[in-house]
């Protein structure tokens, strides 16, 4: 055992570093040092300034001219603190930033470039000036080329904003970023992590991959999961919801019927001269050809005139009146037949009585006793 330990010690001593700087430093394992912290630039790090002049310029739309003219003094004074010269050219419609002899921070010119880009994309000047801080980053997402159809693009852009900008406000709170949707671009300001989330949400919304509301739900769940230290090193996919598209319109692929392969080419189509030879027009004189063409033209005109006349007369043809069908007819049909039969029977009775009165024997009437006469009269009166 002692021999083995001695060999290990010898091997450790024999280990050589590749370079002279590849040696363990005392600050490598220091727990008090935060390696992710961005320290504020100190001008003493670069006392001599920059050797070359760097400049960036960008154009802005005409509707921003008035606002930029008013806000330019604030922008100029903010850049002057870092030793950056700014110029607003209203003739060309451009903004230019460049380094000077007083510039010490070499990266501030990149920040100044981002500032004029944000100003041209309708970001307010007080918000755009915040980009000069080291911890603040920006991203301008181009969404104009993601959708071809103009109406569809406008609908999806509005989906990103939401009713009364509610969706946009929720995204700003969850990602800790400032988001502005303007025209064909989306300007975002915040940390690198937040900007990455914003870009993904915007692209998914415009490309119709996922609705922003679903992204908001996922971000809210992630915020809650971050609070639990036990889930720090675990995979969160089992906690996050998965959303599937329900009504996806798939285009039906039209299957073309394949014709059987033949090595021979298709038959040659008859030319205009061949057609004239078949019909006999080729041998007609020019005068007869013109006369025939004129006759065909007259026939076509007559057909067209007749069709137009028929269309005009259609407006004066009265429409067919709808026949009203009584619903009670079918129900009262049997009752009407019964009533008709009853009335016919009554009329037949009356007719029979009248006939019997007309055929009375006179002798029997006279020879009848006097007592019976008034009764007969009464009867007669009754019949009448």
Backbone dihedral angles phi then psi of residue 45, each to the nearest 5 degrees: -70, -25
* pTM beyond 0.85: no
**pLDDT at residue 336, as a whole number:** 73
DSSP state of 187: E
**pLDDT at residue 348, as a whole number:** 83
**pLDDT at residue 341, as a whole number:** 82
Number of Cβ atoms within 10 Å of the Cβ of 35: 6
**pLDDT at residue 309, as a whole number:** 92
Which residues are registered as beta bridge partners of 96?
57, 87
> Would you place residue 352 in the very low, low, confident or very high pLDDT band (cuts 50, 70, 90)?
confident
**pLDDT at residue 109, as a whole number:** 94
- Token digits for 260? 């059987």
Residues 148-207: tens digit of each pLDDT: 999 999 999 999 999 999 999 999 999 999 999 999 999 999 999 999 999 999 999 999
Is the model's pLDDT at 377 over the cut of 50?
no
Non-local CB neighbours of 284 within 8 Å, separated by 6+ positions:
292
Residues 123-148: tens digit of each pLDDT: 999 999 999 998 899 999 999 999 99
User: CA-CA distance, 269 to 282, in Å (whole number)?
Assistant: 18
| CA-CA-CA-CA torsion sign (28, 33, 39, 43) | negative
User: CA-CA distance, 29 to 224, in Å (whole number)?
Assistant: 32
User: CA-CA distance, 141 to 373, in Å (whole number)?
Assistant: 127
Candidate from 132-146, 177-191, 211-225, 309-323 with smallest mean pLDDT: 309-323
Better-scored residue on pLDDT, 379 or 354: 354
Residues 228-247: tens digit of each pLDDT: 888 878 888 888 888 776 66
Is the model's pLDDT at 373 over the cut of 70?
no
Mean pLDDT score of the chain: 83
**pLDDT at residue 381, as a whole number:** 46
**pLDDT at residue 201, as a whole number:** 95
**pLDDT at residue 49, as a whole number:** 87
Domains of the chain with bracketed CATH: 39-133 (3.30.1370.10), 135-243 (3.30.1370.10)
Non-local CB neighbours of 105 within 8 Å, separated by 6+ positions:
41, 43, 46, 82
User: CA-CA distance, 277 to 182, in Å (whole number)?
Assistant: 69
Share of the chain above pLDDT 70, in %: 82
The DSSP annotation for 138-178 comes to EEEEE-TTS-S-HHHHHHHHHHHH-GGGHHHHHHHHHHT-E
Share of the chain above pLDDT 90, in %: 48
Better-scored residue on pLDDT, 360 or 23: 23
Residues 55-82: tens digit of each pLDDT: 999 999 999 999 999 999 999 999 999 9
User: CA-CA distance, 147 to 151, in Å (whole number)?
Assistant: 10
Is the model's pLDDT at 360 over the cut of 60?
no
Mean pLDDT over residues 331-336, rounded?
A: 64
Is the model's pLDDT at 14 over the cut of 70?
no
**pLDDT at residue 276, as a whole number:** 87
User: CA-CA distance, 139 to 98, in Å (whole number)?
Assistant: 21
3-state helix, strand, coil in the chain (%, to 5): 55, 10, 40
**pLDDT at residue 382, as a whole number:** 45
Cα dist from 189 to 153, 284, 350, whole Å:
23, 84, 111
> Would you place residue 338 in the very low, low, confident or very high pLDDT band (cuts 50, 70, 90)?
confident
Mean pLDDT over residues 11-36, rounded?
A: 69
**pLDDT at residue 72, as a whole number:** 94
Mean pLDDT over residues 267-295, rounded?
A: 89
**pLDDT at residue 130, as a whole number:** 94
Is the model's pLDDT at 12 over the cut of 60?
no
């Amino acid at each position: 055992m002692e021999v083995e330990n001695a060999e290990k010690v010898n091997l450790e001593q024999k280990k050589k570093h590749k370079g002279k700087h590849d040696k363990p430093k005392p600050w490598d394992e220091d727990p008090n040092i935060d390696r992710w912290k961005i320290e504020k630039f100190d001008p003493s790090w670069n006392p001599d300034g920059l050797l070359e002049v760097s400049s960036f310029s960008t154009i802005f739309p005409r509707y921003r001219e008035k606002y930029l003219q008013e806000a330019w003094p604030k922008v100029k004074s903010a850049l002057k603190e870092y030793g950056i010269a700014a110029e607003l050219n209203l003739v060309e419609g451009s903004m230019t930033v460049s380094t000077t002899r007083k510039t010490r921070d070499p990266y501030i010119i990149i920040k100044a470039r981002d500032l004029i880009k944000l100003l041209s994309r309708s970001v307010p000047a007080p918000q755009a000036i915040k980009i000069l801080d080291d911890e603040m980053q920006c991203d301008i997402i181009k969404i104009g080329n993601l959708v071809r159809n103009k109406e569809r693009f406008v609908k999806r852009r509005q989906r990103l904003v939401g009713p009364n900008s509610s969706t946009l406000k929720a995204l700003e709170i969850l990602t800790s970023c400032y988001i502005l949707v303007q025209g064909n671009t989306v300007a975002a300001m915040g940390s690198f992590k937040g900007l990455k989330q914003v870009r993904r949400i915007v692209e998914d919304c415009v490309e119709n991959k996922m609705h922003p509301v679903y992204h908001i739900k996922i971000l809210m769940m992630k915020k809650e999961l971050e609070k639990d230290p036990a889930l720090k090193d675990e995979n969160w996919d089992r906690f996050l919801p998965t959303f599937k598209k329900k009504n996806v319109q798939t285009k039906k692929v039209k299957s073309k019927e394949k014709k059987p392969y033949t090595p021979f080419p298709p038959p040659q189509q008859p030319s205009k001269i061949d057609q004239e030879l078949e019909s006999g027009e080729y041998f007609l004189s020019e005068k007869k050809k013109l006369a025939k063409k004129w006759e065909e033209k007259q026939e076509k005109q007559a057909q067209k005139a007749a069709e137009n006349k028929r269309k005009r007369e259609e407006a004066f043809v009265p429409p067919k009146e709808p026949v009203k069908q009584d619903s009670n007819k079918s129900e009262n049909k049997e009752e009407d037949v019964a009533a008709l039969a009853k009335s016919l029977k009554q009329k037949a009775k009356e007719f029979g009585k009248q006939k019997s009165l007309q055929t009375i024997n006179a002798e029997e009437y006279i020879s009848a006793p006097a007592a019976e006469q008034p009764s007969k009269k009464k009867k007669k009166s009754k019949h009448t």
